[in-house]
Amino acid sequence: MASVLLKNITKIFPPQAASTQADAPAKAVDRPVLEDINLTIADGEFMVLVGPSGCGKSTLLRLISGLETLTSGEIWVGDHNVDALPPKQRDIAMVFQSYALYPHLSVYDNLAFGLRRARSKTTTQRPSLLSSILVGLTRNLPPALRYQSAAEQQIATRVHSVAKMLQIEALLTRLPKQLSGGQKQRVALGRAMARDPQAFLMDEPLSNLDAKLRTETRAQIVNLQRELGTTTIYVTHDQTEAMTMGDRIAVMNAGKIQQVDPPLALYRRPANRFVAAFIGSPPMNFLPVTVKAGQLVHPSFAIAVPSNWPLDTYNNQQITLGIRPEHIAVGQTPGAFSATVTQFEALGSETFAVVTLAQSADSRDPDSAAGQSLQVRISADQPIERGSVLQLSFPTEKIHLFDDSSGAAIFSEATLA
Ligand code: ATP
């Protein structure tokens, strides 16, 4: 097990390769797909890379594994700079979305494959003549009666212990085509685990599974990773997967890391509007407000700003207020404003309503943002229908504010705490 250090990593695909990408025909060819990525994944850490399609997650994983070459930067695994090493010498195991099992080998042999290959590379010792003869003579007997060399016995011990951990012992004699999707995924994980590598790289390994199996396998991967303590870098575009699995999450967009933090810190203190919009489901609401005389003024409401909020430099400027659906208070309170329900989804445990803000009487700006829609979480017990009028307010301690030109958080929940 080892830490993984990514230092100033940039990747530019050569022009001819970029033009063959069906999804990027008109793209400027020399624009980096990854730009100045710096990230340290601690020994034993579970790091999730999350971001929208095309942001460069898989490319970063492929660079770490050695399947792609760096344009510039350095990759260190423990004390070793691995930039010049081919994939096989990096001692890193990768699990792909497509499983990539050998179709003609049994589950046992798929699990044993990497161990046998690693052994044949590290040893020059050939099996004795007697051992080879015994293997040949007993090859067609049931597995329990076959002769195994000492090396093969060690491999068998490892394969059985991994198979036990993943609960696939009963499947060891089957071929991949005789397995369900979830079983194939566990064999793919087992193959990576059997080698006991310095690090696991996982590229959307659950995306071929149905929702229920995905949730189960998610928990299983997290438990196994904790048990084994193997440094893991896990790619997903699914923010729920990221939030539930990672010790820390690196949120990426357009080839750059936007923020690296533990899940709850990302939720509570997003560094910018992109992260605020990406993390959380349903997503955060954003409203334009103007900072005026100690207030955040919107055509539908005005919120008094606590005196310690650092907004002096924004006086008379427009900024963006962010508030999560689950943080909007519903009910008549001083300063509450009206909103009309246009749609709602009653989930049983809670209800999500889409509401339209009413324009306040003293704000008749034709370009105003009144009439804007918001998502609000309301209690499942509250009777609701289309056209219901709700009284809403934004608790100041749950408000996030973003600079309109840079998108950076001016400050957010708990920053002042
Ligand atoms: P997804 O979630 O859809 O898998 P991703 O975040 O993993 O996306 P990458 O697969 O890393 O994104 O791709 C990042 C960008 O690099 C994309 O614009 C893609 O078209 C481009 N790209 C990837 N591989 C190559 C290649 N071999 N040659 C040229 N461009 C490439």
CB neighbour list of residue 373: distance below 8 Å, 6 or more residues apart: 342, 354, 355, 356, 357
Instruction: Check: CB of residue 81 under 8 Å from CB of residue 75.
Output: yes
93 to 9, 193, 293: CA distances (angstroms): 21, 8, 58
Residues 244-261 have a mean pLDDT of 96
Domain that holds residue 335: 282-411
41 and 160 share one domain: yes
342 to 281, 285, 328: CA distances (angstroms): 19, 16, 17
Strand, helix or coil for residue 138: helix
53 and 141 share one domain: yes
- Looking up tokens 């007993």 gives 138
CA distance 44 to 2: 7
- Residue nearest atom 9 of ligand 1, based on CA coordinates: 56
- Mutation test of ligand 1: which of 30, 49, 57, 59 has the most ligand atoms closer than 8 Å to its C-beta? 59
The confidence score (pLDDT) of residue 139 equals 73
Domain end position, chosen among 207, 241, 267:
267
Query: Out of 34-38, 217-221, 393-397, which region has the weakest mean confidence (pLDDT)?
Result: 217-221
CB neighbour list of residue 219: distance below 8 Å, 6 or more residues apart: none
Closest atom of ligand 1 to CA, residue 58? 7
Over the stretch 277-287, which tens digit does the pLDDT of each residue have? Answer: 999 999 999 99
Quick check: 18 pLDDT over 50? Answer: no
Q: Where are the alpha helices (DSSP H) in 229-302?
A: 239-245, 263-268, 273-278
- Indicate if the alpha-carbon torsion angle 328, 329, 334, 340 is positive or negative: positive
- Mutation test of ligand 1: which of 13, 60, 69, 251 has the most ligand atoms closer than 8 Å to its C-beta? 13
Please count the other Cβ atoms lying within 10 Å of the Cβ belonging to residue 96: 15
234 and 319 share one domain: no
- Indicate if the alpha-carbon torsion angle 226, 227, 233, 239 is positive or negative: negative
CA distance 234 to 241: 10
- Looking up tokens 């997290």 gives 222
Tell me how many domains the chain contains: 2
Q: How far is the CA of 232 from the centre of ligand 1 (A)?
A: 21
**Residue ranges around ligand 1 (CB below 6 Å):** 13, 17-18, 21, 23-24, 33, 51, 53-59, 237
**Has residue 248 been placed in a domain?**
yes
289 and 223 share one domain: no
Q: Could you tell me the pLDDT band of residue 233, with boundaries at 50, 70 and 90?
A: very high
The maximal CA–CA distance of the chain, rounded, in angstroms, is 97
CB neighbour list of residue 109: distance below 8 Å, 6 or more residues apart: 102
Task: Please tell me the pTM assigned to this model.
Answer: 0.84
242 and 348 share one domain: no
Quick check: 288 pLDDT over 90? Answer: yes
CA distance 384 to 111: 55
CATH, residue 401? 2.40.50.140
Query: Out of 128-142, 246-260, 315-329, which region has the weakest mean confidence (pLDDT)?
Result: 128-142
Over the stretch 29-81, which tens digit does the pLDDT of each residue have? Answer: 578 999 999 999 999 999 999 999 999 999 999 999 999 999 999 999 999 99
Residues 284-292 have a mean pLDDT of 95
**Has residue 274 been placed in a domain?**
no
248 and 113 share one domain: yes
